[in-house]
Amino acid sequence: MFKAYTIKDIAKALGLSTSTVSRALNGSYEIGAETKKLVVEYAEKVNYRPNPIALSLKEQKSRSIGVVVCEVANNYFSQAINGIESIAYNSGYHVIITQTHESAAREAANIQHLLSRHVDGLLISLSAETTDTSEYKYLLDKGFPIVFFDRIAPNIHTHQVKINNYKGAFDATELLINQGFKRIAYITNTDNLFISRERFEGFKAALEKHQLALPPEYIKYCYHGGMLIDELETAIGELMSMPERPQAIFTISDRLTTRCIPVLKKLGYRIPNDVALAGFTNSDVAESFDPPLTVVRQPAFMMGQLATELLINTIESKRPVYEYTVKEVEAELIVRESSQKRF
């Protein structure tokens, strides 16, 4: 069980007054070196962190919000950030953007850095590695405003903005099936992400509806989400070297989808003649690919706006917020040549 230690807890454990502990942690010259050492070492031992709300009250509002995403260069997130900034700046807030590059350790470091900058709230889209969300629960329990968007934490009670991942994946998979493809492979990043699990459920449901098999070897994991081209090339190479290779590939994230085309071409396969392709991406140039790419497109700009509105409303609320909203929006399936069967 995650326990958030307070200055009172430290004072009680060490037999000191809370004011002594507070001054020791702040490095006051009034406190002796031995007492400082005792307090600091104990605080580190119990993983004490200052209450961010107390800090913000002390420092007043910073009029800034922190944003944590996997990668700004990701088509979805660059559009979502534009939405975030459009609302934030019009409301008098600055935006501080950080990237995790799919690392849980970097995500945690980014959070600590943003808190040290006294941001008034956080907009979070989890990294693919993140499984421990206790830090977010700790902050929320202290009243610190956090909104999750896209890559949400379903077990955390706060505002969330997401798309209907299940339907987006179901519709794209059924499109491939209706085009006549029976053997459909699935390339994903990690099961850690709730959106990945939702998209897989939609994909699987479409196959089950049409009584199609899903051999385990048709599911490939690229844990770096397409950021490592060799990882994706290995996955596609294994799929296409099977005796009964897939007739179509469905991909579940932006970079995986857009990088499939050059990898397939490098390996000598034609799209859709040798293998069809569809997947989630917000790439603005999907129509310009050769062939034009069938995509599930998220309303990223609007999602960024919705998440920011929820966060600013929470920050500026005169009373503590205990009722939270999960906003689910629909994705758009855009059909192009990459998913069309050539007879």
- Give the pLDDT of the chain (343 residues) as one tens digit per residue: 345 678 888 989 899 988 888 888 887 778 888 898 898 889 888 888 776 556 555 556 789 999 999 999 889 999 999 999 999 999 999 999 999 999 999 999 999 999 988 899 999 999 999 999 999 999 998 889 999 999 999 999 999 999 999 999 999 999 999 999 999 999 999 888 999 999 999 999 999 999 999 999 999 999 877 778 889 999 999 999 999 999 999 999 998 999 999 999 999 999 999 999 999 999 999 999 999 999 999 999 999 999 999 999 999 988 877 789 999 999 999 999 999 976 5
Write the CA distances from 2 to 11, 135, 136, integer angstroms.
Answer: 20, 9, 11
For the chain, what is the radius of gyration of the CA atoms? 24
CATH superfamily of 53-162+300-328: Response regulator (3.40.50.2300)
Query: According to the model, what pLDDT value does residue 56 have?
Result: 52
Tens of pLDDT, residue by residue over 91-137, are 999 999 999 999 999 999 999 999 988 899 999 999 999 999 999 99
User: What span, in angstroms and rounded, lies between the C-alpha atoms of 209 and 74?
Assistant: 33
Written as one string, the DSSP assignment of 106-160 is: HHHHHHHHHHHTT-S-EEE---TT----HHHHHHHHTT--EEEESS--TTS-SEE
The maximal CA–CA distance of the chain, rounded, in angstroms, is 84
- Class for the domain spanning 165-297+333-339: alpha beta
Report the C-alpha dihedral over residues 103, 108, 110, 115, rounded to 10 degrees: 170
Tens of pLDDT, residue by residue over 74-96, are 899 999 999 999 999 999 999 99
H or E element that contains 297: strand 294-297
* pTM to 2 decimal places: 0.81
Query: According to the model, what pLDDT value does residue 223 have?
Result: 83
- 3-state secondary structure at position 257: helix
Nearest to 234 by CA among 243, 223, 250, 244: 223
CB pairs under 8 A, 24+ apart, for 269-272? 269/240, 271/338, 272/248, 272/337, 272/338, 272/339, 272/340, 272/341, 272/342
Domain with CATH 3.40.50.2300 in the chain: 53-162+300-328, 165-297+333-339
Cβ-Cβ contacts under 8 Å for 122 (sequence gap 6 or more): 65, 66, 67, 68, 111, 114, 139, 144, 145, 146, 147, 311
Query: According to the model, what pLDDT value does residue 19 have?
Result: 86
Burial group, residue 14, by CB count within 10 angstroms (0-12, 13-18, 19+): middle
- 3-state secondary structure at position 214: coil
Query: According to the model, what pLDDT value does residue 147 have?
Result: 97
Cβ-Cβ contacts under 8 Å for 251 (sequence gap 6 or more): 186, 187, 188, 257, 260, 277, 278, 279, 280
User: What span, in angstroms and rounded, lies between the C-alpha atoms of 85 and 78?
Assistant: 11
User: What span, in angstroms and rounded, lies between the C-alpha atoms of 270 and 134?
Assistant: 46
